[in-house]
Every structure is written in C-alpha cells, then in structure tokens.
Amino acid sequence: MKTEVILTHNIVGLGGESDQVKVAAGYARNFLFPQGFAIPLTGANKRRLEVLKQRRAEREAHDLNTMTELSKSLSKLICVVTVKTGEDGKMFGTVTAGMIADQLKTQFDVSLDKRKIHLEHPIRVLGEHEVELRLHADVVTKLKVRVESTTPLPTAEAAPAAEPRKEGERTEKRGRRPEAAAEKGGKAEGGDKGHRGPRGDRPQRGGDRPHRSERPASAEKPAKGDKPAKPQKSE
C-alpha cells in the first residue's frame, strides 16, 4: 500500500525537501515519520510547502557555491593512488572510484561521495589520468590521478666478475717488480761490496795488499839471536 508524503529533507534516491512523493506506508510509518524526514500530505501540511521550498532553494545555492569552490581546488591537485604490479609493470586489478575517494580523504582531507567520481574506463595502467568529477548538476571538473606502483623495480644485473689475474701479474704485484730486481742485480755486479760470487771467486782479504815476500827489506824483522850492532863512540 502506498501513501503520499512531503519530504522535509533531501533523501538520496527519493527526492529533496518540499517534494511530494509516494512511498510504502510501512516505510513512511516506521522510518520517514519517526526520523522527521517527511510529513503526511494533509491540508495543514500543504501550507508548509512554501517554507520547505525556500529552505531548499537556500540549500541548493549553498551547495552550488561550495562545489564551485571545491572544483577550483580539486582541479589543481594530483591524487596519488598506489597499486601492486608484477615484474612486467602490469597492475593487479583496477583503480576504482572508491580508491580515489579514500586517497582524497587521506591526502587532502576532502570528503567526496564516490558516486561523484565518474570513470569512463577502468584505470588499468600506471601513469597520470584525468578523472571527471560531477560535483553538482551545474559543476563538473577534472581531477588528475597518478597511479604508482608499490612493487620495487627490478635491480640492474650485477657487473661481470673480474677476469683472474695471470701468474706474471700476480708475481709482479706480490713480489719484487722485475725492473727493480734487475736494477738491484746490476748494482751488485758492478761492485765487490756485499757481493759473494761462486766459491773460488771470492776476493782475498785485504784487497790489494802486497804479499809478505814482496815487502821491502827494511820492513823485515831481525833474525832471532842476531843483536843489532852498537854504534861506536867517536874519539
């Protein structure tokens, strides 16, 4: 059974204040009337229509101004939505109007009904997209949405391992350098000091001192038992 009522508040899907609508009698009796959202359509209540219409006009004008200012702000924003992707960069699922509405609330503290966010095509790829916002019957604007991945990018391939050093290069680094060893060996061959050749080629002690037999006679000591002659006194 239907009954006719006058709405005193805006009810989504039903109408705005001052609208005369028909609803189920039980819905009106158990919900609309107790909550004060509607009044029965009677002769006395019809006189309240002018007041309700005036209130409705003021509300709609306020909503229009509010949505106009909001559209100016939203058109300058970039709403970032993060999604999971595979290694090839493809998204898992799509970006929905509800996800965008949640990020507007989180990032900019803007409460927006997700039904005002109009997606012509599902967002399935990363990057920037323009989304239409139908804020009011007379206010439509665009919002930039940037879809980013939460999956870390694959790391670059590791550099190839260094080639093993050759035996000659390892000896040159760890031991003496061949040039330095040759130079040191050349110095040792140039002088007798500190150089020990093969056995039999060793230099004699004393260097170039003359042999005993080559010493001058004056240097020889007198033989044992021969006394030196005393000098004679002169008369």
* Cα four-point dihedral sign 48, 41, 137, 121: positive
Residue 142 CA to residue 224 CA, distance in Å, equals: 135
Are 180 and 157 contacting, i.e. CB atoms less than 8 angstroms apart?
Answer: no
Residue 24 CA to residue 32 CA, distance in Å, equals: 10
pLDDT in tens, the chain (235 residues): 889 999 988 888 888 888 889 999 999 999 999 999 999 988 888 778 888 888 889 988 999 999 999 999 999 999 999 999 988 888 888 999 999 999 999 999 999 999 999 998 889 999 999 999 999 989 999 999 999 998 765 554 544 555 555 555 554 445 555 554 445 555 544 444 444 544 545 545 544 555 454 455 444 455 554 555 555 554 4
Q: Give the chain's domains with CATH numbers.
A: 2-68 (3.40.5.10), 72-149 (3.10.430.100)
∠ CA 41-43-46, nearest 5°, is 65
Q: Which whole-number Å values give the CA distances from 43 to 6, 40, 106, 233, in the listed order?
A: 12, 10, 49, 187
Mark 45-71 as b/e (b = at least 16 C-beta within 10 Å): eeeeeeebeeebeeebeebeeebeebb
pTM confidence score: 0.53
**Strands (E) located in 1-138:** 2-7, 20-24, 38-40, 78-83, 117-118, 127-136
Are 86 and 92 contacting, i.e. CB atoms less than 8 angstroms apart?
Answer: yes
Q: What is the pLDDT of residue 104?
A: 95
Q: What is the pLDDT of residue 89?
A: 80
Residue-by-residue DSSP string for 96-108? -HHHHHHHHHHHH
Q: What is the pLDDT of residue 44?
A: 81
Q: What is the pLDDT of residue 167?
A: 53
Q: What is the pLDDT of residue 202?
A: 52
Q: What is the pLDDT of residue 61?
A: 93
Residue 12 CA to residue 26 CA, distance in Å, equals: 19
